[in-house]
Amino acid sequence: MRHRFALSIAVGLLSGCATTHYQNTIHPSYGDTEYSNDLAQCRKENSTTTTTQGYDVQIHVDVDEAEAASCMTSRGWQPASK
């Protein structure tokens, strides 16, 4: 009995960490593959790369997440309603 209770608590906590699913209002047939492709393109379009020379070369990529989110919205992606 105690193990079932602990298992149900663990499942409940993990389900609270579920990721948000998105749907495309412009192209309703789009799924996870198209979402991933659009997200990668939007993040790439809104990123800057900085190279630092020194003992070793360091490359930093910074993504403007607000601009990437705006890009995704312009492509029709919205959080899916449950």
Give the burial string for 8-37 (b: 16+ CB within 10 Å, else e): eeeeeeeeeeeeeebebeeeeebeeebbee
Give residue-wise pLDDT tens across range 53-62.
989 999 999 9
User: Beta-carbon neighbour count of residue 60 at 10 Å?
Assistant: 9
Q: Say what the pLDDT of residue 41 is.
A: 98
Q: Say what the pLDDT of residue 10 is.
A: 55
pTM: 0.69
Q: Say what the pLDDT of residue 81 is.
A: 79
Give residue-wise pLDDT tens across range 11-43.
555 555 557 789 999 999 999 999 999 999 999
